[in-house]
Amino acid sequence: MTSYPSVTARPGVLSDLLPGTRVRDAALVAGAALLTGVAAQISFPVPGTPVPVTLQTFAVLLAGAALGLPRAFLGMALYLALGQLGLPWFSPEGGNATLGYVVGFVLAASVVGALAERGGDRTPLRTVATMTLGTLLIYAVGLPWLMLATGMDLPAAIAAGVVPFLLGDALKVLLAAGLLPAAWRMAGRSA
């Protein structure tokens, strides 16, 4: 008798471990937007830049990994749309100069979500790579917007919109690299 390798389904994301369908998904999307809005309120101004330090990027990257592509995209799109409609949950210190970073959240959460669906959050090394890419995407969208909104040239924008945040973002990536694989292990579904 011939034995064939088993075909395994594409790895899910952490939220797929929760029971439910549409109601669960709607709650997760709203929860991702709310988590990001709350994380934005934990905001500290940085001298010399209109960009504050917040916990938003951490919330965005975790939401992307936990929800997967469609739900993460919808959660960050909801966050962006409701903020644009006047809900006061963008960082109080940011203003228009940081809106590009918020737009970047939609892209970053989507890409992180897509990678997590393929196991990009199951081991520390893969999580570091996934979260680093997500962080770079936030910078890639936020930096040009910062330049347009403030009139900064590229070196000034990098000095104001990237350099002060590198250490904090590296710590967020490392924290995620510990949390996400541990959550999978606790669920009995590691790599």
pLDDT along the chain (191 residues), means of 10: 43 82 92 95 91 93 94 96 90 82 97 94 93 97 96 96 95 91 80 56
State residue 17's pLDDT score: 83
Dist CA 57 CA 142 (whole Å): 12
State residue 181's pLDDT score: 86
Backbone angles phi, psi at 84, to 5 degrees: -65, -30
Model confidence, pTM? 0.89
* Angle of helix 124-150 versus helix 99-117 axis, rounded to 10: 160
CATH 1.20.1280.290 holds for 14-186: no
Residue 138, CA distances (Å) to 1, 27, 128, 131, 180 in order: 53, 25, 15, 11, 20
